[in-house]
Amino acid sequence: MLISTAYAQGTGGSTEQQILGFLPIILMFVVLYFLMIRPQMKRAKEHKTMLEALKKGDEVVTGGGLVGKITKVGESYVTLDVSGVEMPVQKSAVQTLLPNGTIKAI
């Protein structure tokens, strides 16, 4: 009385109907790739090439907001001169490469 009788469902639709059922999911993944994944990969690649090109004398901004001039470059660390104080910083913490002469203007 409370539960209606269950009837057997007919056989599944054709393969075209099954593919059309997956089409919205496929389109969502394509849009996700072009709007989120691809630009993030591009930014990561640009950041990696920037870190590899760091050299002594470059002026940079770290992720913590420190602005300094590079005095030494190692494999995984750079040494920054911040107002006369030298600080070792991980290369991955460097966010932006500034144009030369920016620090004097600050």
Q: At a CB cut-off of 8 Å and minimum separation 6, what does 98 contact?
A: 58, 59, 60, 61, 67
Domain boundaries, the chain: 9-53, 54-105
Q: What are 16-46's pLDDT values in tens digits?
A: 777 888 889 999 999 999 999 999 999 999 9
- Count of CA atoms in the C-beta half-sphere (13 A) of 73: 14
Q: Which residue has the higher pLDDT, 15 or 97?
A: 97
In the structure, what pLDDT confidence band is assigned to residue 13 with cuts at 50, 70 and 90? low
In the structure, what pLDDT confidence band is assigned to residue 9 with cuts at 50, 70 and 90? low
Note the pTM of the prediction, 2 decimals: 0.69
Position 1 scores a pLDDT of 60
Closest CA relative to residue 93, chosen from 50, 40, 31, 33? 50
At the topology level of CATH, where does 54-105 sit?
SH3 type barrels. (2.30.30)
Q: How many other CB atoms sit within 10 Å of the CB of residue 22?
A: 9
